[in-house]
Chains A and B, each alone.
Chain A
């Protein structure tokens, strides 16, 4: 073999090895696991707990849907059974949409009349409550649903907090239905919502309640721009 050919072979070999190394390197950068390895162990433990809970709830959902399918298939010729199955599906969606009043155990959060609570604090509170497993929430007696929003409005008397565009005044009560103990734990985690409130010199009170009653949303959402997607056939 000539010397230049040997030289060329060595060069190509080196390039090939470099190429493989770069691709391995690129893969390492892209790996979704890498992000996890950068987290603290306690954060990973929280993620495992949350994912396990989610899997359990998904399991329940699968079981419910599977029974609905079974009932509906067997009830195709039976109007009463079909209607019963449809009513059950509808009832669950009415809770999700806030279409009807609901009741259940939960947590009551009370802001005093002198609290300097802002709309941004309430957005964080609601988000934390959902993170802690809240199934239904009302702020200042306004039930929240997927289209609800908490914002503010500037009036001649100053800035007021609004819920679904309705002004709410202090003292303000936020009610959340869910596992009362979990909801409270969710707000009192070190560095969590209650710590943030204390830092801002706001001192809401938390009370676990055996039974809370939440109203329905005032009016269902109206869609002007959205429609169900029909895939091209």
Chain B
């Protein structure tokens, strides 16, 4: 075959592949030329952009809150009278209990991921059967709490008293922060009790249904502090 013909064939294949990938890319981002022009698509764009802007703003606020809390903790180190020191000790304990302190200890780490293989092998199947739902996470968290977990974090979101786990559509939110799979749940507590309790709960169900799940233990897990707000507008001390 002439070299010119070979070159033409190669470039033709490359162009075909580019076309294919471009089409796939457009369908993945959900923005075909036609729909982008429509009012519906414009509204979608606005909503997505509002959400991402708010998320960035919230991340910045949380960074500042963490900084302020650290500065307050530094002030606590300044030499004080015995009366103030007693208050500071009490405050430190309360902060530890409220999840405002970064903590360490022995525990387990559970990873839950969507069943991509099952989804690929059953293209006509209901995708909901192959993804991790918020109630799977809630179930594992309940198992951990019943096993005496002293602190829990999900994808670096520390769980505190008012933490909620929710889903909007198929997006999972913890502390109103959007989380994406794989979901890594860390818990500090007695390793063997945590392990056994989780192993026989929802974790086992997911394992049996071929979800890529894993559990490991560690001697010195480090869980982040809660970076969100602790505002009580309606609840007042008696």
CB within 8 Å of B: which residues of A?
A: 3-4, 6-7, 10-11, 13-15, 17-18, 21-22, 24-25, 28-29, 31-41, 43-48, 50-55, 57-62, 64-66, 68-69, 72-73, 76, 79, 82-83, 86-87, 89-106, 123-124, 127-128, 130-131, 134-136, 144-151, 177-179, 213-214, 220-221, 223-229
Contact = CB atoms under 8 A, between A and B. Distances in A.
A58 B171 contact: no
Contact of B238 (A18, A213, A224): A213
A29 B29 CA distance: 8
Contact of B47 (A45, A103, A105, A149): A45
Given A61-B65, A79-B81, A79-B84, A37 B237 contact: no
B18 A17 contact: yes
Given A90-B91, A228-B92, 12 more contacts: A11-B10, A44-B47, A44-B48, A47-B173, A57-B228, A57-B229, A86-B84, A86-B91, A93-B97, A102-B238, A130-B162, A225-B106
Contacts of A146: 97-99, 159-161, 163
Given A22-B21, A104-B236, A146-B98, A58 B169 contact: no
B54 A55 contact: yes
Given A39-B168, A55-B54, A92 B61 contact: no
A53 B57 CA distance: 12
B22 interface: yes
B14 interface: yes
A34 to B, nearest CB: 6
20 contacts: A21-B18, A21-B21, A32-B180, A37-B29, A37-B44, A39-B168, A48-B47, A55-B61, A57-B228, A62-B61, A93-B91, A96-B98, A96-B162, A105-B234, A136-B232, A179-B233, A213-B238, A225-B150, A226-B104, A229-B223
B231 A57 contact: yes
Interface string B60-86: 011011001101100100101101100
Contacts of B83: 79, 83
Contacts of B52: 32-33, 36
Nearest to A91: B237
Task: Give the top 10 A-B pairs by smallest Cβ distance, nearest first.
Answer: A14-B14, A149-B145, A61-B229, A93-B94, A65-B68, A130-B164, A43-B169, A3-B3, A10-B7, A37-B30
B87 to A, nearest CB: 4
A113 to B, nearest CB: 25
A101 B8 CA distance: 80
